[in-house]
Structure 1
């Protein structure tokens, strides 16, 4: 029996070694085909991702390029040079419009009819007399002398100089008369028409005249609104996050609170505007269109964002920090205030800045509480009537004048710049205070 078994074993072919079998399988055509297919799929996936990024970048460049092309010229304004004789009698009667028109008519001695002089008068901005009045108020010694002054031109002349009107179109289709174009060309040929930096865009409030409209009031209103928002939402949000994460017991009530906080972060912003309209304006009777009310509404909107971001930052602190502090005798409150909270500060700052950036770019809640009002004066307090930058953009976009399209794009560029700065500050602060474990 033993001999038969030995013969059977010796007659059986030797089994291939495992390494040799695996090697032959890896060298098979089927395996190579599958490997090539997998590599091709990976290449296609990379190409699809790169194409998506390139497409997004292209759309962004086209969008920003369109906004810059429309709004870049708004940072420059057109002014007219005039030799104004400050007649003491006219100055005493505050007839600055008469003084400016006399100086302008003197440059066109050939124009003697009323229709022609009316066309010349329309070259000047309606705010030019106030500029001359401010100049006289600043230096009364110039009364009775002849001075060279540069005053703001009308918005149609400004748009003509910037190439917004097509000269090859008929007068009926152009929207600007041939007489005005001829007068502007005469001033330009004589060096009496020039462009300068538009400081009015940053210092003035809103106006019915495009050349006098600015975003100074909207910027101040946005700053006051953000001041109220930050003063309310940051301490309340961080305190709520610390309590929920470090001290609150884990039960059904805290779970319900956490679910509602997460839900509030996804609620449409206009709902907070309706809440502010019903509570702050309707019930408490607070002033309408005021930064105080706008800040309260924005604080309600940004509070869930700050709470969630602060809780995530607190969770990122290693438990060993808490255990070490408690081990050397620190109380739970001392542990949180002296150790956990400082280490979580980068994430808290990031969430706070992102929340403020979101509040700065919101429009719908503020429309509901009346901050869409026409505000000419720059606000000086929390209860003064004001508007904010996004609402100002919304109002200008609805204006029919050609020059307001230019100013709308310029205001969008300024708002985008502020948002980029805020998000950049969040990144810098996070990198500056971040601790790696």
Structure 2
């Protein structure tokens, strides 16, 4: 689908259009970017052990650099434009994940907040520019609104997509079908005569859960490790990221050579779109409403069906009683000392009444422990399980990775002392 071409602004066209023409290539590469946003963020966060917050800071900085380069250009250039989309897809995903995994914000609240935020961005954009068409991104102001909207749509698409999985209990493979069907329905309504700008942005939001589900399906193991865990083709997040980054690069090279998605080139080789029919727009708008109702009914039905959700958190305390320091005897001394240092800092801050400092040190302790899992667990599985169980008790007292609020400082001190004893 595409949007109608806008006339020049009252100030005159200061730049050539800064976004690509909405052809089939636009949607192909957009879905590829969203898949990378899901799999690459997971790989850096989980496999490299950088940690969710640190990964978010890293990609926020990369996004700022990529966007600065994009904003300095006077016309659409495929490579910097799509590089910015890839980076913003990762960044928007991470922002939602922080709300869900770090701050324990329910997904329905995240979805509502990002929906309101997107409506505000669109409202201000419309009041200032009198258009939301991507064919009118010809001034720095409009381009700024455009990229802000893109960022929020990625965060919103992440929240609504994850909420859908939470409600339905569907596997990633099955979950692909819902956004795919909705995009197909929106395309049909657009061809019938729906407002092209509204159709574009609805489809744009839905490509995020579509791409994410494809990524999860490709990367997830074939057999669930725990009841309710996603299953897929077991390619892994790294392999999935490489495949889709390669496809993105190949597509960008093709578009750079052919310039088939440059608005001016496209308009020169295609007939202008016919004027819209207000009556058909109203009918299509009603169709969008029915589509929303049908989706709500479907999700409510799926939620009511028996299904296996994510496995509940359980106490994983080892049944083997290990003497103080025994669990870490086979672990590198430097790694154990680093863990002890963070646990000691958290304990000292707790005793001093520094709630923020104690919580921050506990989070860093969790991130370091997760990062070292791949190297420590093979050295001594029993020792690692024992420390991991106590580590989980510490995190629970701080409300980290657990739905409960932080516990009393006295309870935090007890668990931190037990962990320090186990670390030797």
Q: Give yes or no for TM over 0.5.
A: no
TM-score bracket for the superposition, by shorter chain length:
under 0.3
With normalisation by structure 1, the TM-score equals 0.22
Structure with greater Cα Rg: 1
With normalisation by structure 2, the TM-score equals 0.22
Whose strand proportion is higher, 1 or 2? 1
